[in-house]
Chains A and B, each alone.
Chain A
């Protein structure tokens, strides 16, 4: 959601596809849930056109959402139908971001069916990394280029040795790093309110998503160093300029 919004802010035409049929959420975190009329399953079944199902985000004219169906099963759509929808979306956009469901079942296979690249998101926890490793293996079987986002990093816990570092995670997974997102209350707050945080440049994390966009565009952008001083409190914010620049 935030990556899509950041891409749109950078002037790219973006279509977000929610592949989590039956457990959709992308509409909710974008605040678009009340505007859904038709969904992905109806497009797959040929009951409406793709452009009829796309919901344009008024805050980002270049961003649209193809919502998942909430009342259907993952097997309501075949991999071929899914790939065809993503192909069609790719003709109308610079980026098509497909939000995969959790797990490695049919819904996951659908989500990667039409993709040409993959972003794997993990947290720096042993259990999440093992899952990510399994997913990386599955994606490699399809010869998809893979890049990694390490999410929910708590720099102060890395500092005390209670959390794996980004370097540790990259070493285990052997995948190119695309971005590091610290565990920050801004994410919880903005997703609950349905407002992508890149809308507000004063947000600490906005700069991080903008950097990820530049890396996706092929630029080499140095990674933010999260010092031990990255904190959520007043003191942390005073020093934020030093640590998140």
Chain B
């Protein structure tokens, strides 16, 4: 079964980790609400951690609606998926797809034509446990919602990242998800799609507003910028580069996850326009 899809050198590092005794960290990325950026966060965090030299496995738990392969540009390289491994139709080595761009980063894709209800929660837990033996980080991209797919995604994780946009509906969903997670996962918050211009105008909730409501450790703040959409469509995560505020925000999240002491996350607020300077602030 070996070396069907990969060369021996490509699979080997996935199998043997430097220190064999220490288990890697399994982190689930979840949100409740759909379309807030779970998959984008997963792809960029995985890329940023791998760029730091960590060995990272990304698991797409959105069976039936997979997307992580597209964001990484790996959709043509997927041969086996999570359910193949759970059903023992493929070995982990065969199913793990090496990333094109980052050494040490691997994807375990979701099945597109199957249902979430087909996944056995205990088997999923065992799969994540065996990935933890091989990788420093196992990052699980949860589907939206709080149904079976969410429960499966959470099953093997010890930590959680909750992703939220500055909208009241997304904030409420995260609040509910944090309640469902209970006390085990030490959830940390990523606030995504912040538009500083709108915060300044008062039409969007600010980071402080969201923080005051949720009271979670803040892991990062990501601005809403067109470049995210472009890189997503292209299959090249923004965190591949270190240029610009948003790419650096992802690298700061990775550093924080790795336990580094990084300055508190913030988004650069727009400078006052000429108009506002003339009229001493106006609405701002």
User: Number of A residues whose C-beta is below 8 Å from B?
Assistant: 34
Could you tell me which residues of chain A, from 143 to 200, have a CB within 8 Å of some CB in chain B?
154, 157, 162-164, 185, 188-189, 191-192, 194
**B13 at the A interface (CB under 8 A):** no
User: Does the CB pair B172–A28 fall under 8 Å?
Assistant: yes
Question: What are the residues of chain A within 8 A of B167 when measuring CB–CB?
Answer: 188, 191-192
Q: Are A28 and B232 in contact (CB under 8 A)?
A: no
Chain A residue contacts of B34, Cβ below 8 A:
101-103
Contact B229 A125 (CB under 8 A): yes
A104 at the binding interface (Cβ < 8 Å): yes
Residues from chain A with a CB closer than 8 A to the CB of B71 are 127
Which chain B residues border A23 with CB–CB below 8 Å? 32-33, 145-146, 172-173, 176
Asked if B203 is at the interface of the complex by the 8 Å CB criterion, the answer is: yes
Say whether B168 contacts A103, CB under 8 Å.
no
1/0 contact string of B125-155 vs chain A (CB within 8 Å): 0000000000000000001111111000000
- Residues of B within 8 A of A (CB-CB), count: 40
Q: In the complex, are the beta carbons of B195 and A185 less than 8 A apart?
A: yes
Residue of A nearest to B169 (CB): A25
Whether B173 pairs with A25 at a CB distance below 8 angstroms is: yes
Please tell me which one of the listed residues B67, B145, B148 contacts residue A130 in the complex, with CB atoms under 8 A apart: B67
Chain A residues with CB under 8 A of B145:
23, 74, 101-103, 105, 107
Q: Shortest Cβ distance from B44 into chain A, in angstroms?
A: 14
Known: A28-B169, A185-B203, A192-B167. A103 touches B143 (CB 8 A): yes
Judge whether A29 is part of the interface by a CB distance below 8 angstroms: yes
Q: Check A126 for interface membership: any CB of B closer than 8 A.
A: yes
Q: Mark A110-154, 1 if CB is under 8 A from B, else 0.
A: 000000000000010111101100100000000000000000001
Q: Is the CB of A192 within 8 A of B203?
A: yes
Interface-central residue, B64, B144, B168, by most chain A CB under 10 Å? B168
Residues of A within 8 A of B205 (CB): 192
Instruction: Given A25-B169, A104-B64, A192-B167, output 7 extra A-B contacts at Cβ < 8 Å.
Output: A102-B145, A103-B144, A103-B145, A105-B116, A127-B67, A134-B112, A192-B168
